[in-house]
Chains A and B, each alone.
Chain A
Amino acid sequence: MSFLEYAPAPESRAILSLRDSYGLFIDGEFVDGRGTPFQTISPASEERIATISNANEADVADAVAAARRAYDNVWSRMSGRDRGKYLFRIARLVQERARELAVAESLDNGKPIKESRDVDVPLVAAWFFYYAGWADKLDHAGLGANPRSLGVAAQVIPWNFPLLMLAWKIAPALAAGNTVVLKPAETTPLTALIFAEILQQADLPAGVVNIITGAGDTGATLVAHDGVDKVAFTGSTAVGRAIAKQIAGTDKKATLELGGKAANIVFDDAPIDQAIEGIVNGIFFNQGHVCCAGSRLLVQENIHDEVVERLKLRLSTLRLGDPLDKNTDVGAINSKEQLERIRELSDVGVAEGADRWSAPCVIPENGFWYAPTIFTNVQTSSRIAREEIFGPVLSVLTFRTPAEAIAKANNTPYGLSAGIWSDKGSRILAVADQLRAGVIWANTFNRFDPASPFGGYKESGYGREGGRHGLAAYLAPSAVGRGAAQSSLAAPATAKPIETADAAPKRTRRAAQRRQTDSATKGTKR
C-alpha cells in the first residue's frame, strides 16, 4: 500500500430519510405534478434515488398563481424585520441539517462530499444569513428610500451547485420582498426538495417559495409566464440568449449568469506552490462543472515546462471515485450527456493538434467519470481554448509579456472570471484593471462569498448576484422615474422629483399588465 492508497472512508447515507417520490412544492404543500414523472439518479453509480414530479404548463401556472397570492396578501405586506427573521430561521435550519444536505447533494450531483460539506452547504447557510440582515435595511441598498420589490421571481438554476444556486437566487429575492417560483435542474432536484421541507419547518408562509421540478421545457414555460416580474437564470449562454429574446419587449427584469472561459494567468514571479494548487482548484474543483472555472491556463513561457510538470505530478495524486468518500478529490460527471460533451470536445482538441494528458486513475465501472485532463500545445483558435467544456479539462497556453497575457485573456466572447498569479502587487492591480471579467481572483481562485458580487461581462450575462448589487437586482426605486432611473442606483438628479403613474409601492398583477401594454413609453432597463 503506497502512501496514496487510502482505506474507504464513506460518509454514511443513514442520515438521509429520502422519500421514494417527490411532488412539486406549491403553495406550501407537496402536490403531484401533471407531467410525466422522471427518475433522479446518482451519477456515480447510475442507481435510482427517487421519482420526481414533472411540472406541466398547468402546474407552472399554479405555482406562479400561488406566488402571486403570497406576494399580494402576505410577503409584500410583511415588515422587513419579519422577513429577515424567516431568512435567519432558514439559515439556521440549513446549518442544523447541513450534513444531511451535503450527503444528498453529493449523492444526486456526484460532487465529492468534502466539497458539498465544506463549501456548498456552508455557503448556502451564509447566503441566507447575509441576506436575512438586509431585509429590514433596504433603504441602504443604494436605490434611495423605500425601494420596492418587483413581484414574482422566476428562477431557473443549473445542476453544478444545486443547493448553492438555490440560495443565491432565493435569499436576495425574499429579503427584497419578492416571492419565488424556482425550478432546479432536471438532474439535481433532490436538495431543493429537501430544502422545501426546511421551509415547512421554518413555517414560511405558503406560496412565498414554490419549487417546481422538470426539464428545460418547464423552465421555459415558467420564464415565459405572464405573471412573472423578474427572471433570474444561471446556465448556458445559449439558453440565456433565448431567455433574453423571449422577454424582449416585456416588463420582466432579468439577471443572467451564463457561461465562461476564464483565463488563469500565471506570471513567472508567481508563488509557484500556491499557483499549482490554485490552478488545480480553478479547473478541477467540482469536476470543472463551474461557470467561472479557470479553464484556460495562461502561463508565462519561461515557466511553462515546470508548471506543466508539477501540475501532472499533482494531478496524479488526486483521488477519483465515490463522491461520498471523504478522501475523494474528483467525483462523478453529473450526467451522461455532459460526459459525452466533454469527450467530444476533448477529441476535438486532439484532432486540432493539442497534446492530451490524463491523470492515471482507475475509472469505476458504473457511473459517469472523466479523469482530470490537461491539454498542452493549444492554439488560441482551438475549440478547447474557446468553448466552455464544463468538465475537468484544462487548456494550457503560453505568453511572453503581460500585454500578451491580457490580450489572450480577453480574447473571448465571455467575461465571467479570471485569475492572476504573481508576487508583484503592482502588476496584479495593473492586469486586473485590464481584464474584462466580472470576478478576478489574485493569488487565489474560485472563492465565493455572499458579500461579494458575482457576474459577468459581455456574453457571460448581466446583473450581479451577491452583495448589495445582488440585492438591488430584486428591487426598484420607490418613485419610479423614467428610463434609467429604474436601473439600480438610480437617483433623482434634478431638484424636481420625477413622478410617474407607476410609482405605486406595491405592484399588482393588473398594474403589471397595464405597464406591459404601455411599456413603450416607460423606459425600463432589463
Chain B
Amino acid sequence: MTRLAVPKTYKLYIGGAFPRSESGRTYEIVAADGAFLANAAKASRKDARDAIVAARAAVAGWSGATAYNRGQVLYRIAELLEGRRAQFVAEIEEAEGVSRAVASAQVDESIDRWVWYAGWADKFAQVAGNANPVAGPYFNISVPEPTGVVAIIAPQDSSLLGLVSAIAPALVAGNSVVVVASERFPLSAISLAEVLATSDVPKGVVNVLTGSPAEIAPWLASHSDVNAIDLVGAGALDWISLEVDAADTLKRVLRPESGPDAAAPALGRITAFTETKTVWHTKSLL
C-alpha cells in the first residue's frame, strides 16, 4: 500500500515568519513538463512594504554583529544547505526539468558560494578600507559600512544559484535584504528561506517575496526606506524606469545581468552595497 504524500504549502518569508500574501493571491507553479507543482504566494504591494519594514528593523542587529559572527552565520547556511542537498536537487530537477547532474551542480555551486562569501565577512573591510595619511595631526581611517536595506530582483532563470549569488554578497557587509524570487522557479527560494529560518540568520535580515517581479519591483524601487536595489534579474522588465524611480531617493543601483555568469562571485558585489565612512580624530600633544 503506497503512502499518500503531504505536499508543502509555499508561502512568503517576511520578518522570520512564513505568512501567506495578505492579498490572498496565489499563482500556479508548474514543472517543465507542465505538471502542477504547487501554488506559490503572489506577493502584493503591502507584502513588499511589510518586508521592507522587517528588513529595516533587522539592519541594526545584523550590521552591529561582529564580522566574525556574520561569517559564521553565513557559513552555517552552507552547512544546513548541504544537509538538505537532496531536497534541493529534487526540487530543481522537477521545476527546471534538468538532469540530476545539472541540478546537483547548481546546488553544489550554491553551497560553495555561501562558503566563499562567508569567508569575506571579516576580510573585505581590510581590502576596501584605508588608513589615510592626511597632512595634519589626525588619525584618519576609512571603512566600508553596509548601505542598509537592499532590494533584489533575483535572476529569473535559476531556482537557487542565482538567488544565492544575489543575496549572499549583500548580507556579507551587514545589509538586510528584500528579494523577489524567480517568478517561474520560486519554490527553491522558499525552501531556502526554511534553511535561513533555522540557521541563525536573524529574522528580517532576509525576506523573500514570490510573485510577479514586474508588479513588485516598482514598489521596491520607489520606496523611501530602501537604500539600494539590485536589478540583476530585472533584464526582462522595464528596468530603466526602475532606475529612474530609484533616483528619487538616490538609491544605489546595480544593473541587470544575464547568462550563466550573472551575479558571478566578486568582491565588487559586496562593496557595491557598502558606504565608505571616513572618521577623523584629532591627535593631541603628548
**Chain A interface residues (CB < 8 Å from chain B):** 126, 142, 237, 240-241, 244-245, 248-249, 256, 258, 413, 415, 428, 432, 436-444, 447, 449, 451-455, 457-459, 461-462, 464, 467-469, 481-494, 498, 519-526
Question: Which residues from chain B sit less than 8 Å from chain A, CB to CB?
Answer: 116, 127-128, 130, 132-136, 138, 140, 142, 147-148, 169, 224, 227, 232, 235, 239-240, 243-244, 246-250, 252-259, 261-269, 271-272, 275-282
A449-B140, A493-B266 known; A483 vs B255 contact (CB < 8 Å): yes
Nearest first, the 6 A-B pairs at minimum CB distance are: A490-B268, A249-B240, A244-B247, A493-B265, A449-B134, A248-B243
Q: How far is the CA of A488 from the CA of B259 in the complex (A)?
A: 22
In the assembled complex, which residues on chain A have CB atoms less than 8 Å from the CB atom of B128? Answer: 142, 489
Residue of B with least CB distance to A258: B250
User: Once bound together, how far apart are the Cα atoms of A519 and B239, in whole Å?
Assistant: 11
**Closest CB of chain A to B94's CB: distance in Å?**
28
Known contacts A442-B282, A447-B136; decide if A484 and B142 are in contact (CB<8 Å).
no
Given contacts A142-B128, A442-B281, A449-B134, contact A483 B257 (CB under 8 A): yes
A336 vs chain B, min Cβ distance (A): 29
A240 and B250 in contact, given A248-B243, A484-B169, A498-B261 (Cβ under 8 angstroms): yes
The distance in angstroms between the C-alpha atoms of A464 and B262, with both chains bound, is 27
In the bound complex, CA of A248 to CA of B249 (Å)? 13
- Given A249-B243, A453-B278; A467-B268 close (CB under 8 Å): no
Whose C-beta in chain A lies nearest to the C-beta of B120? A493
- Min CB distance A146 to B, Å, is 16
**Contacts A444-B138, A491-B267, A493-B116 known; A245 to B247 CB distance under 8 Å?**
yes
How far, in angstroms, from A267 to B68 measured CA to CA in the complex? 32
Q: Are A485 and B244 in contact (CB under 8 A)?
A: no
CB-nearest residue of chain A to B228: A462
Q: Do A483 and B263 touch (CB < 8 A)?
A: yes
Known contacts A447-B280, A459-B249; decide if A484 and B269 are in contact (CB<8 Å): yes
Complex Cα–Cα for A93 and B117 (A): 48
Known contacts A249-B243, A493-B116: A488-B264 contact under CB 8 Å: no
Contact across chains for B272 and A484 when beta carbons are under 8 A apart: yes
User: Are B138 and A523 in contact, with the CB atoms below 8 A?
Assistant: no
A439 to B275 CA separation, bound complex (whole angstroms)? 11
A467 to chain B, nearest CB (A): 6
Q: How far is the CA of A49 from the CA of B268 in the complex (A)?
A: 48
Measured CA separation A432–B249 after assembly (Å): 24
Q: Which residues of the partner chain A approach B254 to less than 8 Å between Cβ atoms?
A: 483-484, 487, 523, 525
Contacts of A461 in B (CB 8 A): 250
Q: A492-B266, A493-B116 are in contact. Are A468 and B280 (CB under 8 A)?
A: no
Least CB distance, A258 to chain B, in whole angstroms: 7
Closest partner residue, chain A, to B64 (CB atom) = A433
Chain A residues with CB under 8 A of B224? 413
Could you tell me the distance in whole angstroms from the C-beta of A506 to the nearest C-beta in chain B?
22
Please give me the residue from chain A that is nearest to B255 by CB atom: A523
A503 to chain B, nearest CB (A): 13
